[in-house]
């Protein structure tokens, strides 16, 4: 059975981020209306958040699959030494989806449910750029839900009261690229710190 690789997960995340950045560059240079550009940036925000979530989940699967004792002690169930990736993912998300609240602190909390502080995944997550990741998660929620609550939280995260949408904030001065750069820095950190 072939196990997942943290390095491979990071490489795929970087490729997805580059695709997102290419998309943003294409729509920015396409002569679209301001509203269309804002909507395109909403898509880029959501894609960037999905990439981050997928990378963290893949790294958790990699870590648990390479040392299942982490969940043995946590759950008090005697798991076999080797589990299929989809089984490990099910252990983490159950019938739901991988979710964390609170930006970087939520990601750290989600990872620490399974891994010790000294683990390479936990250490990489702790090195995330909190300001950019907190912005990304708040903006993603606003772009996806468009609720008054998500708008308030996103506006607070970006220190902007007048933003009309997550995408309208992200399109100004290339802010979306600052966010994708932070996610890419995390992926590069995983590439360098993952032992496999």
* 25-42 pLDDT per residue, tens: 999 999 999 999 999 999
Cα–Cα distance, 164 to 58 (Å, whole number): 34
Cα–Cα distance, 113 to 116 (Å, whole number): 8
How far is residue 186 from each of residues 9, 104, 133, 134, 147, measured CA to CA in Å? 11, 12, 10, 14, 29
In a domain, 1, yes or no: no
In a domain, 171, yes or no: yes
> How would residue 80 be classed by pLDDT, with cut points 50, 70 and 90?
confident
> How would residue 1 be classed by pLDDT, with cut points 50, 70 and 90?
very low
How many separate domains does the chain show? 1
In a domain, 47, yes or no: yes
Whole domain around residue 91: which residue ranges?
6-193
In a domain, 16, yes or no: yes
Q: What residues contact residue 8 under an 8 Å CB cut-off, 6+ apart? A: none
Q: What is the three-class DSSP state of 68?
A: coil
pTM of the model: 0.93
């Amino acid at each position: 059975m072939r196990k997942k690789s943290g390095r491979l997960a990071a490489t795929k995340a970087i490729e997805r981020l580059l695709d997102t950045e290419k998309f943003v560059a294409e729509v920015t240079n396409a002569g679209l209306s301001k509203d269309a550009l804002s909507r395109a940036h909403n898509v880029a925000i959501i894609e960037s958040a999905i990439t981050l979530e997928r990378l963290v989940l893949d790294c958790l699967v990699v870590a648990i699959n390479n040392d299942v004792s982490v969940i043995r002690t946590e759950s008090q169930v005697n798991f076999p030494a080797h589990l299929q990736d989809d089984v490990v993912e099910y252990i983490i998300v159950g019938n739901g989806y991988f979710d964390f609240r609170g930006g970087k602190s939520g990601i750290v909390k989600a990872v620490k449910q399974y891994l010790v502080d000294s683990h390479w995944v936990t250490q990489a997550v702790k090195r995330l750029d909190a300001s950019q990741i907190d912005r990304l998660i708040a903006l993603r929620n606003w772009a996806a839900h468009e609720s008054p609550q998500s708008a308030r939280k996103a506006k607070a995260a970006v220190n902007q009261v007048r933003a009309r949408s997550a995408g309208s904030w992200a399109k100004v001065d290339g802010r979306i690229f600052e966010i994708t750069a932070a996610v890419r820095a995390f992926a590069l950190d995983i590439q360098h710190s993952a032992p496999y």
